[in-house]
Chains A and B, each alone.
Chain A
Amino acid sequence: MFKAFLIKYAEIGIKGKNRHIFEEALCRQMRRALEQVDGEFSVTREMGRIYVRTEGAFDYDGAVEALKCVFGIAGICPVVILEDTGLEDLAASVVDYMKQVYGEQEKTFKVCARRAKKTYPLSSMELNCELGERILDACPNMKVDVHHPDVYLNVEIRQNIYLYSETIPGPGGMPVGTNGQAMLLLSGGIDSPVAGYMIAKRGVKIDAVYFHAPPYTSERAKQKVVDLAKLVARYSGPIRLHVVNFTDIQLYIYEKCPHEELTIIMRRYMMKLAEMFAKEDGCLGLITGESIGQVASQTMHSLAVTNEVCTMPVFRPLIGFDKQEIVDISEKIGTYETSVLPYEDCCTIFVAKHPVTKPNLNIIRRSETNLAEKIDEMMETAFRTAEVIEID
């Protein structure tokens, strides 16, 4: 019965003169999401509204699922569009709508008519009364409740007439591409895909970097990261994934620095490399999945020492989240199952039994002087030889 969706957006509505930029971006992202769905869709902006219209048969559930992945959408309303052929026809259609959508269910309702077309012969109040009465007459299972109705039936009189009562919640946020670009440090774990999701939700385009350590990490671990990037890309749009061979650097640190400092020093070099890729891709910041105190390398002291090598802002959207809260989001966005596949990632292979939890920046810097001989060259090589995987 539904041939169209009315898309409600949240924050874009409060934008000023540049609102059209956000609306355009939202339309673009919606079109991209709907490309994968069976059916012909057109996305249009009309008088401060965005509509998705379809021609002929289409995959209704698929379309809803696709739209639920588009940041910027606050709600998706399946809508019936009628031509204005007089009050009698409208009333018949309204009754028909209620019967089809709610059947025999016991519901309370309220009609909420609005007229953008002020030439319509009845006022909004009159329409409410008239249509409400018709519904009451035709549907014995329906009662009126103007304060807290179960069903809020919207009747909008414009060039055409729009009927809708259901709102499917969207993901909220802002359309991707309206807020610059950032580089996500993607491991294979639970946190980093969620971090990427959360920053992308604010309209940021995402690129990613993964540190691969063959033969210590397997091809399957890399495939897992590619799969995770694909899952994030459903929301964030295309991701350019840089796969860095990090083995030599890791082994060099292993040989030259105290073992309990390995992870923290390694992370400093990862941040530096990530920043090199970020600059190359035109990113304005880095994104990590860190959360205070989760592991030794994420204590406040460790974060400060890691952060010290970065010149770009580092965004840590999960910083105040508990693990369970992060898991909940990862389950919601569908990355959890992939994240928990048991392949070793490069952060854990040489991890010390008792890594430092309160690293001192001066001591870490002194340890790093042991790397002076070769590290710059190795970083350059790692940067140059990285593989790029474009994820759609």
Chain B
Amino acid sequence: MEIYLDNSATTRAYPEVAELVTKLMLEDYGNPSALHQKGVDAEQYLRRARETMAKILKVQEKEIYFTSGGTESNNWALVGTALAMQRMGKHIITTQIEHPAVQAPVSFLEEMGFTVTRLGVSREGMIDLQELEEAITPETILVSVMFVNNEIGSVEPVAEIGERIKRKNPNTVFHVDAIQAFSKLPIYPKKMNIDLLSVSGHKFHGPKGTGMLYIREKTRIRPVILGGGQQNGMRSGTENVPGAAGMALAAEMVYGKLKESRAHMYRLREHLIHGLQAMENVTVHGADGEQAAPHIVNASFLGVRSEVLLHTLENEGIYVSAGSACSSHKRAGSPTLTAIGASKAEMESSVRFSFSENTTPEEIDTVLEVLNRVIPMLRRFTRK
């Protein structure tokens, strides 16, 4: 028996996606830039993939750029914007709970001379809109906020953020890291005043090594990968046709049943949280209701180290994720848990469960049953 509850790390690809990818590697394998028929065929797939992504986001096809994944999309969005706009200002706003793929490029820009404001969050992981608005100055060229936090699943009020940014400084570019959000909620960049949006394919049953950056028309951004001038010179490198097509197919399938799978996962979430709250000394982190993503539950089992619980569950065929890699030598807590003000004890014992549409209520029952069995045993043995 295998219960895979680490879908925020990565998902199993849809068989249909795997099939399409195989076909594009074995049959229609041409280079989309080639002049012959094989190239034209490949280009068709790419065009259709772009069409699909554009339709889901309700944006123009030319605003979709394929990348090698979420990390590249985030890097490009941040570094590319900073390069293009450095003469207009040197101020960047982001949050304390961003993924490292945002944190690291932001720190890089800070080293290069940009000023950075990192907004704090509430206990539920939500930023303060007032604080954000006050932080925006005429110097602010970029605001980068994640849509759904990857560790605790809080959903930031992106539409309102977009509105406030544009009201205060229409020149400020708004980047949204939607890597955990895309496929879990409807996203409309135009309506939400989003200029740049990062997406990663393997988080929703697409292939690894695939991603996308939405760039709203007329946004000032420079390419950071230079070369043969593919994708209008904005992102060079032979397009990953099987990957892009596979990701688009996965997106299409996922958005085709978004309502049902969202409802399904919210029920699972309720179910699991309900069970966890019945246990002693368990804290569930993050927000409630619509302010929480449907697929993520983060909980601390006080007195049990994350990694130990992870391996114990692994022995039972249950795969989860431990917030931070703990060892006796290095104990840097997760930035998100630190930002929401979790205690040291909570950080050391935090575990993330993340669902997919294929997760069943029975699996959640099993997980709860196992937790109730192993937690008391593990609590008997702790470092004193």
Does B263 reach chain A (CB closer than 8 Å)?
A: no
List the one stretch of A133-141, A147-155, A163-171, A350-358 in contact with chain B: A350-358
Stretch of A88-96, A214-222, A274-282, A329-337 lying at the B interface: A214-222
- Please state if B311 and A350 are interface contacts (CB–CB under 8 Å): no
Is A342 on the interface with B (CB-CB < 8 A)?
yes
Within 8 A of B (CB), among A177-232: 214-216, 218
Could you tell me the distance in whole angstroms from the C-beta of B337 to the nearest C-beta in chain A? 19
The bracket for how many chain B residues form the interface is 10 to 19
Query: B330–A259 contact, CB under 8 A?
Result: no
Instruction: Name the interface residues of B280-329: CB closer than 8 Å to any CB of A.
Output: 307-312, 314-315, 325-329
A214-B315 contact given A344-B327, A344-B328, A348-B328, CB 8 Å threshold = yes
Indicate with 1 or 0, residue by residue over A335-378, a CB within 8 angstroms of chain B CB atoms: 00000001110001111110000000000000000000000000
Contact A342 B327 (CB under 8 A): yes
In the complex, which residues of chain B have a beta carbon less than 8 angstroms from the beta carbon of A343?
Answer: 327
Residues from chain A with Cβ under 8 Å of B382 in the complex: 350
**Given that A342-B330, A343-B327, A344-B328 are known contacts, is A350 also in contact with B312, CB under 8 Å in the complex?**
no
- Assess whether B328 is in contact with A259, with CB atoms less than 8 Å apart: no
Contact bitstring B242-272, A, C-beta under 8 A = 1, else 0:
0000000000000000000000000000000
| Beta-carbon contact of A214 and B381 below 8 Å | no
Instruction: Mark interface residues in A49-88 (1 if CB within 8 Å of B CB, else 0).
Output: 0000000000000000000000000000000000000000
| Chain A stretch 299-352: residues in CB contact (< 8 A) with chain B | 342-344, 348-352
Q: Evaluate whether A216 and B308 lie within 8 angstroms (CB atoms) in the complex, with A342-B327, A344-B328, A351-B328 already known.
A: yes
Query: For residue A351, which residues in chain B have a CB less than 8 angstroms away from its CB?
Result: 328, 383
Task: Determine the distance from Cα of A165 to Cα of B129 in the docked complex, in whole angstroms.
Answer: 77
- Considering only CB atoms, which chain A residue lies closest to B310 in the complex? A215
B87 at the interface (CB under 8 A from A): no
Find out whether the CB atom of B312 lies under 8 angstroms from the CB atom of A215: yes
Q: Does B384 contact A (CB under 8 A)?
A: yes
Pairwise interchain contact A352-B384, C-beta atoms closer than 8 A: yes
| B311 with A218: CB separation less than 8 A | yes
B383 touches A350 (CB 8 A): yes
Q: Is the CB of B380 within 8 A of A255?
A: yes
Q: Does B308 contact A215, Cβ atoms closer than 8 Å?
A: yes
Query: In the complex, how many residues of chain A place their beta carbon closer than 8 angstroms to a beta carbon of chain B?
Result: 17
Contacting residues, chain A, for B311 (C-beta < 8 A): 214-216, 218
Give A340's nearest chain B residue, CB to CB: B329
Contact between B381 and A251, CB atoms less than 8 A apart: yes
From residue A327, how far is it (CB to closest CB) to chain B in Å?
15
Specify which chain B residues have a CB less than 8 angstroms from the CB of A383 in the assembled complex.
Answer: none
Partner of A342, one of B309, B315, B329, B383: B329
Contacts of A342 in B (CB 8 A): 325, 327, 329-330
Of the candidates A218, A251, A255, A350, the one whose C-beta lies within 8 Å of that of B307 is: A218
Q: Would you list which residues of chain A between 243 and 278 have a CB under 8 Å from chain B? A: 251, 254-255, 259
CB distance from B169 to the nearest CB of A (A): 43
Bound: A343/B330 CA distance, A: 10
Q: How far is the CB of B93 from chain A (nearest CB, A)?
A: 33
B384 touches A259 (CB 8 A): yes
Known A351-B383, A352-B384: A215·B314 in contact at CB below 8 Å: yes
Residue of B nearest to A217 (CB): B311
Considering only residues 339-384 of chain B, those with a C-beta below 8 Å from chain A are: 380-384
* Chain B residues positioned under 8 Å from A352 (CB to CB): 384
Q: Compute how far the CA of A65 lies from the CA of B312 in the bound complex, rounded to whole angstroms.
A: 43
Q: How far is the CA of A345 from the CA of B23 in the complex (A)?
A: 46
Q: Is the CB of A350 within 8 A of B381?
A: yes
Q: Closest residue to A341 on the B side, CB-wise?
A: B327
**Is there contact, CB below 8 Å, between B381 and A215?**
no
B310 neighbours in A (Cβ, 8 Å): 215
How far apart are the CA atoms of A216 and B315 in the complex, in Å? 12
How far is A215 from B351 in the complex, measured between Cα atoms in Å?
A: 15
In the complex, which residue of chain A has the Cβ closest to the Cβ of B329? A342
- Expressed in whole angstroms, the minimum distance between the Cβ of B18 and any Cβ of chain A is 27
Kindly report which residue of chain B lies nearest to residue A262, judged by CB atoms: B384
Give CA–CA (A254, B384) in the complex, Å: 10
Residues of chain A contacted by B309 (CB below 8 angstroms): 215
Chain B residues in 8 Å Cβ range of A255: 380-381
CB neighbours of A259 from chain B (8 A):
384
Q: How far is the CA of A348 from the CA of B311 in the complex (A)?
A: 17
User: What chain A residues lie within 8 Å of B326 (beta carbons)?
Assistant: 344
Closest CB in chain B relative to A254 CB, distance in Å: 6
Task: Give Cα A255 to B308, complex, Å.
Answer: 18
The smallest beta-carbon distance between B310 and chain A, in angstroms, is 8
For B309, the closest partner residue in chain A by CB is A215
9 pairs, A vs B, C-beta closer than 8 Å: A215-B309, A215-B310, A254-B381, A255-B381, A342-B329, A342-B330, A344-B328, A349-B383, A350-B381
**Which chain B residues have a beta carbon within 8 Å of chain A's beta carbons?**
307-312, 314-315, 325-330, 380-384
Known: A214-B315, A259-B384. 7 other contacts (CB 8 A): A251-B381, A343-B327, A344-B307, A349-B328, A349-B383, A352-B384, A353-B384
Task: Please report A residues at the B interface, Cβ cutoff 8 Å.
Answer: 214-216, 218, 251, 254-255, 259, 342-344, 348-353
A-B complex: 7 closest residue pairs judged by Cβ atoms: A215-B311, A215-B312, A348-B328, A344-B327, A342-B327, A259-B384, A342-B330
